[in-house]
């Protein structure tokens, strides 16, 4: 079931899916927004650290032959993992609401700043399918230039391009290489003529609300924190119990 853009990220709902060209909006930095976003991501990071510590202690307990303790620590680690994912979900939905509030982006645009790679992929796919169902011809995906990523490497843009290819959609990088034009109905990905920005002019300035990617992995990389050894350990603990 498609969720329209206006409902994406509403409090209490999960995001089940989720730029130079013409300047689309002027974003004024909001310290309160940034603090709340960072607070949620920090809580998620803290839970991830607790999770990893539990799994490491579980591994040691198993090696020492204490299967019951290994199992208990494994379950504790899973609880921290669930909390981490919940805080990340809240952060993703919160920053999506802020960056895509009415007047901040045009109706044919979506701002993915502040999203981990897997979060952005889900949100964008849901939006694409909803727009196609409504007969929309195109979508501008604002992904940023990677200025705040490690080594200034763009992480969202390659994933957006990969998703477009998987969905059989043609796309092109706009004049601002932090923005991608996606043709939703087939044909050449040629952006339409520039339209007047919602605020009467003003250059697009990428929002500063972004994940600290050098300190915390994209959601799609979280599994990398759980080595194969720990998954085997979990199975062994279950057998012991």
Instruction: Please determine, for residue 208, whether its predicted confidence score (pLDDT) is greater than 60.
Output: no
147: its two tokens: 């200025």
Domain tally, the chain: 1
Place 56 in a pLDDT band, splitting at 50, 70 and 90.
very high
Rounded to whole angstroms, the Cα distance separating 54 from 85 reads 16
Confidence (pLDDT) at 219: 40
Model confidence, pTM: 0.70
Q: What is the mean pLDDT of the chain?
A: 76
The domain spanning residue 15 has which CATH number? 3.30.1370.110
Q: Is the pLDDT of residue 123 over 60?
A: yes
**What confidence score (pLDDT) does residue 191 get?**
76
Q: Are strands 109-111 and 170-173 parallel, antiparallel or unpaired?
A: unpaired
Which one has a higher pLDDT value, 175 or 72? 72
pLDDT-based confidence at residue 236 (cuts at 50, 70, 90): low
For residues 231 and 115, the model is more confident at: 115
* % of the chain beyond a pLDDT of 90: 56
Ordered alpha helix ranges (H), 10-66 = 31-63
Q: What is the DSSP letter of 9?
A: T
What is the model's pLDDT at position 30?
84
Q: Is the dihedral of CA 174, 156, 87, 139 positive or negative?
A: positive
When comparing pLDDT for 191 and 217, which is higher?
A: 191
Is the predicted pLDDT of residue 239 greater than 90, yes or no? Answer: no
Confidence of residue 131 (pLDDT cuts 50, 70, 90): very high
Strands (E) located in the chain: 109-111, 138-142, 170-173, 179-183
Which token pair is 218?
């994209």
Higher pLDDT, 219 or 118: 118
Give the pLDDT score at 94.
97
DSSP 100-146: TSBTTB-TTEEE-TT--HHHHHHHHHHHHHHHHHTT--EEEEE---S
- Name the residue range of residue 182's domain: 5-240
Q: How confident is the model at residue 150 (pLDDT cuts 50, 70, 90)?
A: low
């Amino acid at each position: 079931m498609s969720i329209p853009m206006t409902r994406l990220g509403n409090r209490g709902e999960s995001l089940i899916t989720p730029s130079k060209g013409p300047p689309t909006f002027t974003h004024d930095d909001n310290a309160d927004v940034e603090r709340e976003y960072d607070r949620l991501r920090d809580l998620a990071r803290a839970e991830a650290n607790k999770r990893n510590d539990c799994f490491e202690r579980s591994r040691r307990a198993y090696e020492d032959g204490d299967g019951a303790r290994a199992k208990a620590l494994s379950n504790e680690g899973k609880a921290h993992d669930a909390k981490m994912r919940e805080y990340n979900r809240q952060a993703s939905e919160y920053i999506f609401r802020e960056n895509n509030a009415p007047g901040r982006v045009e109706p044919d645009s979506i701002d993915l700043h502040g999203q981990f790679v897997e979060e952005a992929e889900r949100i964008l796919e849901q939006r694409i399918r909803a727009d196609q169902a409504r007969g929309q011809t195109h979508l501008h995906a604002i992904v940023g230039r990677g200025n705040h990523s490690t080594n200034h490497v763009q992480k969202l843009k390659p994933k957006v391009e990969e998703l477009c290819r998987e969905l059989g959609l043609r796309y092109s990088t706009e004049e601002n290489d932090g923005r991608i034009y996606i043709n939703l109905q087939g044909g050449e990905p040629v952006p339409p003529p520039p339209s007047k920005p919602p605020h009467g002019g003003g250059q697009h300035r990428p929002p500063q609300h972004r994940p600290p990617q050098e300190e915390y992995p994209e959601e799609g990389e979280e599994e990398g924190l759980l080595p194969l050894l720990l998954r085997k350990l979990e199975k062994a603990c279950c057998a012991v119990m």
